Homo-oligomer: A and B are copies of this chain.
Amino acid sequence: MNSVSNFVEKLRNSGLRPTKQRIKICEVLFNTDKTFHFTINELSKIISEKIEEKISLATIYNTVHAFKREGYLKEITINSDKSYFDTNTSHHHHFFDNLTKELTDLNDEDVEKIQIKKSLPGKKISSVEILVKVENE
């Protein structure tokens, strides 16, 4: 489904030249039918496991941030400890299990339409995101 030409397009759109390292990063991020959540460190580990040559952290940070800027990745903020990224770029929400530290998608359709009855003068809403924290029953 996602092939090198697709990665090249994503990189170019993000203002990045398609280098060997960046293509490798794309393979990990986009060469799957399932979307997933990751931290930069996890991504770095996945890359070093799957790939013979190592990619420096600086390159990974730069590439991930460029993709985020362009909208090919979303950043999810749960707590101040860690920054999570998401390859699911559709508008959606999250469950977070504080015990297992697991993030689960909560699709927009799975939430009754949210009505905000307050507004701020001179401001308009640019996004509404819900974080549902869960615990064991």
Contact = CB atoms under 8 A, between A and B. Distances in A.
Contacts of A104: 120
Interface residues of A, number: 40
Interface secondary structure of A, over-half rule: strand
A4 interface: no
A1 interface: no
Q: What number of copies of this chain does the assembly contain? A: 2
Interface stretch (A8-16, A26-34, A73-81): A73-81
A45 to B, nearest CB: 19
A133 B137 contact: no
Interface stretch (A17-25, A47-55, A56-64, A109-117): A109-117
Interface of A: 75, 77-80, 82-83, 95, 97-98, 104, 106-107, 109-118, 120, 122-137
Given A79-B83, A107-B118, 20 more contacts: A77-B80, A95-B123, A97-B123, A109-B117, A110-B117, A110-B118, A111-B114, A111-B116, A111-B117, A114-B114, A123-B134, A123-B137, A124-B135, A124-B136, A124-B137, A125-B132, A126-B133, A126-B135, A128-B131, A129-B133
